[in-house]
Amino acid sequence: MVKKEVHIIGAGCAGLSLARYLSIADQSEKYKINFYGQKSKAYENPNYWSFWGDKVNLHVEQYIKKKWYKWQIINKESLVTHTTKNFPYCTINSRDWLSFCGFEKLDINPDIPEPGPLVFDSRNPRVFAGGLTQEFIGQTIEAIKPIFNPEIVTLMDFRCDQQQGTHFIYILPFSSTCALVESTRISQFLCPSQYYKDAIKTYLNKRLNCIEYKIIAEEYGKIPMGQLAKHDSRYLGIGSNGNCLRKSSGYAFNSIQQQTQQLATQISMDKMVTKQNQIFLAFSRLETILDTIFLMALRNQPQKAPEYFIKISKRLTGDEFASFMSGKTSLNILLKIIFSLPKMYFLKAWFQTIKAKLYHGNKFN
Ligand SMILES: Cc1cc2nc3c(=O)[nH]c(=O)nc-3n(C[C@H](O)[C@H](O)[C@H](O)COP(=O)(O)OP(=O)(O)OC[C@H]3O[C@@H](n4cnc5c(N)ncnc54)[C@H](O)[C@@H]3O)c2cc1C
């Protein structure tokens, strides 16, 4: 039997997930998968992909390193703790996932094929000029004494330097002595890596009274926030190049899984996929507009971020917060968010987003 060919550009989370799901769905082995471009660095230099896992498939489930049912958001004045039964916060190691998806056996052609119906492009999207970037360094640390609460994730702790844009510390506690501790900034400009390393050290010393610790792994990330354009508009985009990256948070893993699993099923059933709108879209238009306004407000007043995040988290329950972060925002959640935020700032930001679009169009790097 002559096999039909599927061409995937980019061998990262989306490209490899699509290949794996297709090999599972294509039981009669009708399809041959070809890879092009470059391999992801997330295998050699692994990082953690975290997400709210209400409905993860069994394949993802078996690689989850840990699940948490509580998380907190902290600023100078307040601490909000969310609890959930239905949406645990989960984390997966990128090397484990890419390995399951066949990274080690991957044969990749550096030449990019011409666009076509079964050619999927996962090269990273183009970034809007002057847009915000989420930049971070995360260190997995091993402390001598127990310093972490292994039951609670710290999603954002704003009790750190706020002079260089919106900045928070994120902690994924694997045990009472071991955690991923990340310093994250959201800004239009980047900072030297030493800034993040110093911020982690200061936080561990000052907030957790931890002086002696070992750094056992380190990850670096630079994720664009806000408006993105496809790497090349002629191709069918998948992953962050197919609108899976949540504009306001940089989360993408779970939507990539939903998109690529669905796409694999479509292909295995010989459904024609020739247009971008035939590929699963992770976020609604309303969520995208809300995210754009929110990011404009952050850009205008980065020092207000701790207040905005605390206000939103106080208004929402754990399940509502997780739904919102996972792209399942109901009208009720949307209204709660709108009413939790200062109206004047957000109305101004809304007008600015409309004006920016009218006068400047979309200028991409
Ligand atoms: C350090 C880090 C931590 C993250 N943590 C989380 C998290 O906790 N939760 C979450 O949901 N998301 C997270 N993300 C965001 C997102 O989930 C990941 O970036 C994810 O890898 C996106 O998958 P992708 O397939 O779209 O892109 P990638 O995995 O980046 O794959 C793109 C592929 O295209 C190739 N490529 C790119 N440009 C070219 C080119 N010009 N020519 C040829 N090949 C090219 C690359 O080599 C790569 O193989 C994180 C990102 C980073 C960087």
Q: Which CATH number do you get for residue 53?
A: 3.50.50.60
| Cβ contact 228:133 at 8 Å | no
Residue 300's domain spans which residues? 285-355
The pLDDT score that the predictor gives to residue 219 is: 97
Pocket of ligand 1 (CB under 6 A): 10-15, 37-40, 42, 47-51, 122-124, 219, 221, 223, 239-241, 250-253, 256
Looking at the CA of residue 94, tell me the nearest atom of ligand 1: 21
| Cβ contact 49:13 at 8 Å | yes
Q: Whose CA is nearest to atom 4 of ligand 1?
A: 49
Q: How far apart are the first and last CA of the chain?
A: 45
pTM (2 d.p.) = 0.95
Looking at the CA of residue 239, tell me the nearest atom of ligand 1: 26
pLDDT tens sequence across 209-218 = 999 999 999 9
Q: Are residues 23 and 110 in the same domain?
A: yes
Residue-level length of the chain: 365
Q: Are residues 233 and 120 in the same domain?
A: yes
Q: Are residues 32 and 58 in the same domain?
A: yes
Q: Are residues 105 and 43 in the same domain?
A: yes
Looking at the CA of residue 136, tell me the nearest atom of ligand 1: 1
Amino acid letter, 38: Q
**81 within some domain:** no
Q: Return d(Cα 275, Cα 234) in angstroms, integer.
A: 10
Interval between CA 225 and ligand 1 midpoint (Å): 14
The pLDDT score that the predictor gives to residue 364 is: 46
Interval between CA 107 and ligand 1 midpoint (Å): 19
pLDDT tens sequence across 143-195 = 999 999 999 999 999 999 999 999 999 999 999 999 999 999 999 999 999 99
Q: Return d(Cα 139, Cα 46) in angstroms, integer.
A: 12
Find the mean pLDDT for residues 213-228: 94
Q: Are residues 102 and 236 in the same domain?
A: yes
- The residues pairing with 153 across neighbouring beta strands, listed in sequence order, are 71
Looking at the CA of residue 10, tell me the nearest atom of ligand 1: 34
**72 within some domain:** no
The pLDDT score that the predictor gives to residue 298 is: 87
Q: Are residues 253 and 114 in the same domain?
A: yes
Q: Of 134, 128, 120, nearest to 36 (Cα)?
A: 120
Query: Which of 8, 47, 101, 124 to mutate to test ligand 1, by most ligand atoms within 8 A of the CB atom?
Result: 124
**185 within some domain:** yes
Interval between CA 10 and ligand 1 midpoint (Å): 9
The total domain count for the chain is 3
Among candidate residues 201, 224, 247, the one where a domain is terminated: 224
The pLDDT score that the predictor gives to residue 363 is: 54
Interval between CA 325 and ligand 1 midpoint (Å): 19
**Angle at which helices 343-360 and 285-300 pack, to 10 degrees?**
100
Interval between CA 13 and ligand 1 midpoint (Å): 6
Which two tokens mark 83? 């609890």
Interval between CA 292 and ligand 1 midpoint (Å): 21
Q: Return d(Cα 356, Cα 24) in angstroms, integer.
A: 45
Which two tokens mark 117? 């119906």
Angle 17-21-24 from CA coordinates, rounded to 5°:
145
Looking at the CA of residue 16, tell me the nearest atom of ligand 1: 25
Looking at the CA of residue 14, tell me the nearest atom of ligand 1: 25
- Determine phi and psi for 299, rounding to 5 degrees: -65, -40
Secondary structure (H, E, C), 130-162: CCCEEEEEEEEEEECCCCCCCCEEEEEECCCCC
Find the mean pLDDT for residues 102-122: 96
Q: Whose CA is nearest to atom 51 of ligand 1?
A: 221
Q: Are residues 24 and 105 in the same domain?
A: yes
Q: Whose CA is nearest to atom 41 of ligand 1?
A: 123
Q: What CATH number does residue 190 fall under?
A: 3.30.70
**21 within some domain:** yes
Q: Whose CA is nearest to atom 38 of ligand 1?
A: 123
Q: Above 60 in pLDDT, residue 362?
A: no
How many CA atoms does the CB half-sphere of 20 hold within 13 Å?
24
Looking at the CA of residue 254, tell me the nearest atom of ligand 1: 11
- Binning pLDDT at 50, 70 and 90, where does residue 358 land? low
Residue 265, C-beta contacts closer than 8 angstroms, at least 6 positions apart: 21, 25
More confident residue, 211 or 353: 211
Q: Are residues 156 and 236 in the same domain?
A: no
Q: Whose CA is nearest to atom 42 of ligand 1?
A: 37
**365 within some domain:** no
**71 within some domain:** no
> Residue 114 burial (CB < 10 Å; 0-12/13-18/19+)?
exposed
Q: Are residues 220 and 233 in the same domain?
A: no
Looking at the CA of residue 110, tell me the nearest atom of ligand 1: 43
Burial 69-95, CB ≥16 within 10 A → b, else e:
bebbbbbeeeebebebeebbbbbbbbe
Q: Are residues 24 and 137 in the same domain?
A: no
Q: Are residues 182 and 55 in the same domain?
A: no
Give SS3 for 118.
Answer: coil
Query: Which of 9, 38, 109, 255 to mutate to test ligand 1, by most ligand atoms within 8 A of the CB atom?
Result: 38
Give SS3 for 105.
Answer: helix
Q: Are residues 290 and 208 in the same domain?
A: no
**293 within some domain:** yes
Average pLDDT, the chain: 93
Find the mean pLDDT for residues 337-361: 78
| Cβ contact 187:135 at 8 Å | yes
**85 within some domain:** no
DSSP state of 319: H
DSSP state of 277: G
Query: Which of 8, 17, 40 to mutate to test ligand 1, by most ligand atoms within 8 A of the CB atom?
Result: 40
Give SS3 for 44.
Answer: coil
Looking at the CA of residue 15, tell me the nearest atom of ligand 1: 25
According to DSSP H, which parts of the chain are helical?
A: 13-25, 58-61, 94-100, 193-206, 253-268, 285-300, 305-315, 318-325, 331-340, 343-360
